[in-house]
Structure 1
Amino acid sequence: MQPPHSCLLLFLVYLFLISGIWATPNGTFTLRLLQITTFQNSSFVDTEGLGLLEDIELGCLDKNISIHFYQPWVQPALPHSEWETIETIIKDHLQIFSYMFKEGAMQTNVPYPFVAQFAGGCELYSNRTSQFFGSVAYNGQDFLSFDTDNATWTLSQNTNLSWFTQEIYQKGNAFTETLEIRCVDDLKLLLESGGRAALERQEVPVATVFARTPSPHQLLLVCHVTAFYPRPISVAWLRDGQEVPPGPALNTSTVLPNADLTYQLRSVLAVAPRDGHSYACRVRHRSLGTRSLLIPWGNSQVLLLMGLVAALLAAVAVAAMLLLWLWRRRQHQCMEESESRNSIRCREI
């Protein structure tokens, strides 16, 4: 069954903490839980959550505090009793989090509506050491952060509400304490269950080059690269075989996600029409190994067009020769049939 689009972010924060990690080139895995809670007024609170294994969505929590899994290997990674425990911990956390901000808002005269966010997780390094991280935000601004060296929550804002929230966190928070203790163990189980294979998959990029003419004096060459995974990629323009350096004429977008857990980007190069140079878009990606994709434009495009025309003419010539051969064969057969009929008439006479 397809999980609901809107999910409780708090559970995902815990779920991400135990299930969301991504293998970086240096062998580091990161598990993240994300939560966003909207306080419309003192009686209406809405929370959503998401769990991530690096960039892989593991699952979410709906408004009824029910877990929905996005990947088939997430739920089998932990026993049923563990998931029940997780749900209980998440519910307790949500209640405390909601009380903390509503009480703080009342005592410090904070106006409604406002938004509070929580992010937590852990990193597992290649040398088998690990580190927990956690932070709280208020209206999109840093609010509290966890100091791993001193195991304390530090202020990012010097306000009455931040002081009130810090005091509650310093007294003890079962949710964050549980995340800190169990995160790495659950992360390892998720990797073994299927997370590592999901992170190591590779999808080859598909690249196309086309042009736009915003004015008669400017030509925009667009290199659109899509359907690749993992996220890191290198896209560059070559002018007469030499890489075009960064500058005002070159504009490359950030890497954006597709709906199927692949990525895309565009690189646009502004050139003068008919400037006499040849251009090509070069794409390098892990899935290509030591190879590169090279998509030409400019003079290279003319050569490509000439090659296509030559191939078309060759195909026409071959077709003409084939038709001529078939015609001659048919003529030969007709002559043989005619001679055969004449021979039969002669014998009858």
Structure 2
Amino acid sequence: MVWLGLLEDIELGSVDKHTWSIHFYQPWVYQALPHSDWDIIHDMIKVYLPESNRMFHEGAMENELPSPPDPFVIQCMAGCKIYPNRTSQAFVSVGYNGLDFLSFDMDNNTWILCQDNSLAWYIVATLQNYTVFNKMVEVLAKDTCVDDLEVLVSNGKAALERQEPPVATVFARTPSPAQLLLVCRVTGFYPRHISVAWLQDGQEVPPGPALNTSSILPNADLTYQLRSILAVSPRDGHSYACRVRHRSLGTHSLLIPWGNSEVVLIAGLGAGLLAAVAVAAITVLWVRRCRHRLLTAAFTYHIAELLVLRLNCCTVTMV
């Protein structure tokens, strides 16, 4: 069982399933609210989280489901949103095995079924009898959550306003001779929202089967990444570029034309050739010390010939 508190995408803390105590991940979180508020929250966690776990297990047994069923995944999401016009919205919803299961109607102080099965009816009937609990859920979500959220936003302003600019690279893959996949990899950015588009001859490529953009994925350093892939025909005569827009860039955009990666490839080839020449030179010196002059001349000739062949091969590949 895992319980996690989030402010936007910032992890505030989690609940230890063995002791039901709160572990804070950000130093400013515990300082944001009075200690008495955290004591109340802690007491409610110790009472209601084990009770909800027990209720679902009993519901499974009452309805002749395996205990626990395989799989038996319960997800609960509760919180509130504050909009720029100062209005707010509270929400409480429960998921069962990856599907919507129950939700709480804040206006009518009642639970709404999202699934029509015996377990859902059992849980709703049980929760409807917890009148005090339901009223507490309403107050916590509509009032306490909004008040605490404003305090947390104020104390976590630096974390919420953190900006990390994206780093983008463009490279190609050739799954077949008739297809070229242009890949735009964008990583290291924060906040999460970003716009990535492909331009063909300066015009944005519309959504379609040739365009495939991944979902935004987290990095280990609390930044994000994604990839956008465009399928094109080799040597179709068009120019392509990946355009990235992000809040950290202000009014500017990153524009990475397809072709910059060729420069990186050429630089890599140059470094490889220099390394090969260095190895050849060291080999020649060593052979000279052994006074095998004829072998040295032949070996140097073959090394030079090999370097020329490699350069020609790579030049043909790049064209």
How high is the TM-score relative to the length of structure 2? 0.75
**C-alpha distance in structure 1 between counterparts of 2:204 and 2:242, whole Å:** 9
**C-alpha distance in structure 2 between counterparts of 1:248 and 1:192, whole Å:** 44
**C-alpha distance in structure 2 between counterparts of 1:178 and 1:94, whole Å:** 18
Identity of aligned residues (%): 67
Q: Quick one: structure 1 residues 210 and 143, their matched pair in 2 at CA, closer, same or farther if it must change by over 3 Å?
A: same
Q: Secondary structure at the match of 1:105?
A: helix
Other-structure match for 1:218: 179
**C-alpha distance in structure 2 between counterparts of 1:237 and 1:131, whole Å:** 37
Q: Secondary structure at the match of 1:144?
A: strand
Counterpart contact for 1:115–1:138, Cα < 8 Å: yes
Other-structure match for 1:89: 44
Q: Secondary structure at the match of 1:74?
A: helix
The structure number with the bigger radius of gyration is 1
Q: Secondary structure at the match of 1:291?
A: coil
1:168 deviation in Å? Answer: 2.6
Other-structure match for 2:110: 152
Q: Of the candidates 56, 59, 70, which is equivalent to residue 13 of structure 2?
A: 59
Q: Secondary structure at the match of 1:50?
A: strand
In the alignment, does 2:137 pair up with 1:183?
no
Counterpart contact for 1:131–1:148, Cα < 8 Å: no
Q: Of the candidates 151, 163, 167, which is equivalent to residue 121 of structure 2?
A: 163
Other-structure match for 2:26: 71
Other-structure match for 1:25: none
Other-structure match for 2:295: none
In the alignment, does 2:82 pair up with 1:127?
no
- 1:139-166 residue CA offsets vs partner (Å, 9 max, x unmatched): 2222211123322111112222222211
Other-structure match for 2:74: 116
Q: Quick one: structure 1 residues 301 and 259, their matched pair in 2 at CA, closer, same or farther if it must change by over 3 Å?
A: closer
Other-structure match for 2:3: 49
Identify the range of structure 1 (95-104 vs 200-209) with the bigger mean alpha-carbon deviation.
Answer: 95-104
5 Å matches for 1:1-349?
47-63=1-17, 64-113=19-68, 114-170=72-128, 171-172=130-131, 173=133, 176-177=137-138, 179-180=140-141, 181-194=143-156, 196-298=157-259
1:124 deviation in Å? Answer: 1.7
Runs of 4+ in 1 over 3 A off after TM superposition: none
- Structure number with greater CO (CA < 8 Å, separation at least 6) is 1
Q: Secondary structure at the match of 1:214?
A: strand
Give the partner amino acid of 1:57: E
1:213 deviation in Å? Answer: 1.5
**C-alpha distance in structure 1 between counterparts of 2:60 and 2:240, whole Å:** 59
- 1:253-310 residue CA offsets vs partner (Å, 9 max, x unmatched): 1111112221111111122222222211111111111111111114x777x79xx9xx
- 1:188-234 residue CA offsets vs partner (Å, 9 max, x unmatched): 1111212x332222111100111112122222111100111111211
1:116 deviation in Å? Answer: 2.0
Runs (5+) with no aligned partner, structure 1: 1-46, 309-349
Runs (5+) with no aligned partner, structure 2: 268-319
**C-alpha distance in structure 1 between counterparts of 2:83 and 2:202, whole Å:** 40
**C-alpha distance in structure 1 between counterparts of 2:241 and 2:94, whole Å:** 46
How many pairs does the alignment contain? 258
How high is the TM-score relative to the length of structure 1? 0.69
RMSD: 2.2
Identify the range of structure 1 (47-56 vs 134-143) with the bigger mean alpha-carbon deviation.
Answer: 134-143
